[in-house]
Amino acid sequence: MIAEMGWASASEIAHAVASGDRSALAVTEAALARIKRLNPKLNAFTTVTVERALARAAAIDRARSQGRNLGPLAGVPFAVKNLFDVEGIPTVAGSRINRDHPKAPRDATLIERLEGAGAVLVGALNMGEYAYDFTGENAHDGPSRNPHDPTRMTGGSSGGSGGAVAGGLVPIALGSDTNGSIRVPSSFCGIFGLKPTYGRLSRARSFPFVASLDHLGPFARNVKDLALAYDAMQGHDADDPVCAARPVEHAAPELGRGVDGVRIAVAGGYFRKGAFAEAIEAMERVGNALDVRREVDIPGAEQARSAAYVITATEGAALHLPRLRSRARDFDPAVRDRLIAGALVPAALVNQAQKFRRWYRERVLELFREVDVILAPATPCAAPKIGQQTFTLDGVETPLRPNIGIYTQPISFIGLPVVTVPVPLKPLPIGVQIITAPWREDIALAVAEVLEQARVALAPQPDL
């Protein structure tokens, strides 16, 4: 029997529903009640799909009564960043402009796959406008609020996803990560997040930001749930030309194998610059728990971050150029002014950034011949105050918004898989990135599980 549904894991819920201990309808009604109670405080949800969720839950209960297989996520409530297409509502992507779009005719592939595994969609989540954001703030919907301190940022751009999972509104949420938008909210909100290899999970029917850098992935409060959600979403999808034609490589059954023989190193050089005391402490705790004695320098990491910055600015601007012409005043000013600047960047710099990207990828893959895992901070600091404009990096006062992702950008730039684990420091948690070679999400999840079992990484329950 599950004592407290708000903090129950997805696997506990699925077990309870499959065994008949709880009905899917009861689980869904409890989730909807939590959302109703806590969302005014956290501002995580922009749409709650009440009727759809109740109908879906009732269908699961009928299926159980008929003895049908319910799937590994039976009755598990989940929600998605509002850039995923949800049938019947416009895909707003955090913007005012997209509210004028027609209703989406079909769900995003990843929603279809999670529901195919028995999960129940309960709504769409707040996000930074058009995903050009690391804060979780939104000029139109208001800021997502951190469950550990609602005066603080959730991180972005998947801010509502971070807040909804960390606040116990849902056990699983989906987000997107172009430069760090899964890993930053995971860090600030104290939860687990998986940014898979570029091309692993389908992006079909989600609103893009930077096509050559966009990833989708799950958030959860424990490693098993993260792996279950990831496994349910794997598989080729012809609707996303980037989605790789690889076989499904289930990670959940591999959990529990430990990390014997896994070669783990800490990222030095660039990744040691600018870290606040809490980021350093989190790295030390994780490194000590795994008995890491090796440090590696990721060659060209600083330039990689710069190249990601240039490609993001220019590809993002190219995507939004028609809207910048016709509806510039309807953008969040903080996003609009960056996009306009991006539209003006000379093409020669973009081409050089794309050439550098290939060079850098080859150097980093060489590094992965020597090690299996690289650890790096997820963010330079724990969650800042909502509205904070600057912070001090390496003794220099620096704009906050574009620089929260200094440690995430060089990694997603070449599509490496990363599990971000929460280190439960007081008063606020902070995340550490577990980075592996392409297509080795299984190793990152195994390392995360070892840290979770040692209670070095865990999602702290907020007092709400």
Partner 1 sequence: MTRRRKKQAARNPAPKRRKAAPRALPDPLDDFITAGARALDLAIDKSWMTAVREHLRVTLAHGAKVASCPLPDDAEPAPVFKA
Length of the chain: 464
Site string for partner 1, 387-406 (x = CB under 8 A): ---------------x----
CB of 331 to partner 1, least distance (A): 10
81 is catalytic: yes
95 catalytically annotated: no
Q: Is residue 302 involved in binding partner 1 (CB under 8 A)?
A: yes
Q: How far is the CB of 346 from partner 1 (least distance, A)?
A: 8
- For residue 29, give both structure tokens: 């009604």
Residue range at the interface with partner 1 (CB under 8 A); choices 227-235, 262-270, 358-366, 419-427: 358-366
Residue among 72, 68, 65 nearest 15 (CA): 72
Residue corresponding to tokens 């405080």: 41
Nearer to partner 1, 249 or 302 (CB): 302
| 307 scored as a contact of partner 1 (CB under 8 A) | yes
- DSSP letters for 213-250: T-EEEEEESSHHHHHHHHHHH-S--TTSTTS-------
d(CA 116, CA 109): 10
Residue 347 touching partner 1 (CB under 8 A): no
Q: Does 239 bind partner 1 (CB under 8 A)?
A: no
Q: Catalytic pick from 23, 144, 157, 412?
A: 157
Collapsed DSSP state (helix, strand, coil) of residue 48: strand
345: contact with partner 1 by CB under 8 A: yes
Strand arrangement of the beta sheet that strand 120-125 belongs to: 45-48, 120-125, 77-81, 172-177, 215-220, 192-195, 418-423, 430-436, 373-377, 264-267, 294-296
Q: Is 342 in the site for partner 1 (CB under 8 A)?
A: yes
List the end-to-end C-alpha distance of the chain, in Å, as a whole number: 23
* E-state strands within 28-166: 45-48, 77-81, 120-125, 145-146, 149-153
Q: Which stretch binds partner 1 (CB under 8 A): 53-61, 139-147, 265-273, 354-362?
A: 354-362
The residues in 412-451 that bind partner 1, with binding defined as CB under 8 A, are none
Query: Is 181 a catalytic site residue?
Result: yes
Interatomic CA distance for residues 127 and 144, integer angstroms: 7
Structure tokens at 359: 């060079």
Q: Select the residue interacting with partner 1 from 218, 300, 405, 429 (CB under 8 A).
A: 300
| Choice from 89, 92, 251, 353 touching partner 1 (CB under 8 A) | 353
Give the active site residue among 9, 23, 81, 144.
81
Contacts of 435 (CB under 8 A, 6+ apart): 267, 373, 374, 375, 376, 411, 416, 417, 418, 444
DSSP state of 104: P
Pick one of 313, 319, 400, 451: the residue that binds partner 1 (CB under 8 A): 313
> In this chain, which stretch among 54-62, 63-71, 151-159, 297-305 interacts with partner 1, using CB under 8 A?
297-305
Nearer to partner 1, 288 or 352 (CB): 352
Which CB, 17 or 339, lies closer to partner 1? 339
Shortest distance (Å) from residue 83 CB to partner 1? 22
Q: Which residues are catalytic?
A: 81, 157, 181
Residues within the interface to partner 1 (CB under 8 A): 212, 300, 302-303, 305-307, 309-310, 313, 321, 324-325, 328, 333, 336-338, 340-346, 348-359, 361, 402
